[in-house]
Amino acid sequence: MRFLVILSALVALCAGHAIPTIPGDNSHYVEGESRYVWIPDGEGVPRLVDLEEPADESFSDARNGANNEYWLFTRRNPNNHQLLRINDNDSVRNSNYNRDRPLTVVVHGWNGNGTSARLAVDALLHEGDNNVISLDWSIVASGPYTNVVRNVPSVGQHLGNFVQWLINNHGGNWNNVHLIGASLGAHVIGNAGRTVRGRIARISGLDPAGPQWSDSSNALNRNDAVYVECIHTDGGLLGIFDPIGDANFYPNGGTNRQPGCSLSNCSHVRAYELFAASVIYNNFIGRRCADLNEARNNNCTGANFLMGNTDFSKRGSGLYGLSTGSEWPF
């Protein structure tokens, strides 16, 4: 019997360290045990990641948040961004930035760039004439996953410093600032909120990245803004399942596979797509759950609470379940 237990453990260990061959298929993955995982890049293409790859110290020296670019879109320039630079007042004066309008920053994830946020930028400009900034941190985000994870705090800190500089020098209202981040971008905006001591009105974490973020003090948490909301769609795999925000939504159980998804990478990206749809239609109604088990089984029958949208004064707490469709607008 003891031999069988040891053999089973060895089989499990080997399986966890075996290199998966089907792109995007993470059915082998066990959080905290598996070495390899498929993670989508900014275009949704699955890339194989070795979670045990040693970090390259020289990477941090050359790539950090100082490389951030801040791309401003407004209804006056919906398709061509204007580059804002911290400590460059003329870059703001010569742009369409309007101190009297809300400020929303959208942040991409691993291997993405400023254009990866296009779906959200278009939805936000459709919803209102706002200052929408797409953070391009591709110089950092394009590195090996382990190195990128180590540099997320620096990217977030520079973002926080930029927002503070922008408001202090060119006007704006902290009550009308909303940071939106997908996957690793969710942890970037958490660090940004922490940098400005939680003054951000609202943070939306879209399936915050899971691999290498368990129990990390650098992960997004509910203290990073006045109100922190998370949408979990691939929890326990590429995303975090635990309720790390004030309000936590678990569409279709919050795990893969989401409706219409054949591979888990699709489920991870679905949170971003659902949020963009919520900005335009604002019709995703969550029901409060008693606990995580109810959320996972999508068996929640409590009070109603809208998921997503752009309401800067939105406040709420707890766990919420809901069902969605399989294709846009879900």
Q: What is the pLDDT of residue 31?
A: 86
Give mean pLDDT, residues 112-126: 97
Instruction: State yes or no: is 268 an active-site residue.
Output: yes
In-domain check, residue 328: no
Q: What is the pLDDT of residue 11?
A: 38
Of the chain, the percentage scoring pLDDT greater than 90 comes to 84
Instruction: State yes or no: is 187 an active-site residue.
Output: no
Per the structure, how many domains does the chain have?
1
Enclosing domain of residue 279: 2-322
In-domain check, residue 56: yes
Choose the catalytic residue: 116, 134, 187, 207. 207
Instruction: Give me the chain's average pLDDT, please.
Output: 93
In-domain check, residue 180: yes
Choose the catalytic residue: 34, 116, 183, 278. 183
Give mean pLDDT, residues 92-108: 98
Domain harbouring 61, CATH code:
3.40.50.1820
In-domain check, residue 329: no
Q: State whether the Cα torsion 55-56-61-67 is positive or negative.
A: negative
In-domain check, residue 330: no
Question: Please, which residues bridge with residue 288 across strands?
Answer: 320
- Report how far apart, in Å, the C-alpha atoms of 39 and of each of 62, 105, 184, 239, 313 are: 24, 23, 11, 10, 34
Q: What is the pLDDT of residues 221-232, one digit of tens each?
A: 999 999 999 999
Q: What is the pLDDT of residues 5-56, one digit of tens each?
A: 333 333 344 456 789 888 988 988 998 899 999 999 888 889 999 999 998 8
The answer to whether 237 and 271 have CB atoms below 8 angstroms apart is no
Choose the catalytic residue: 81, 204, 268, 278. 268
The answer to whether 24 and 264 have CB atoms below 8 angstroms apart is yes
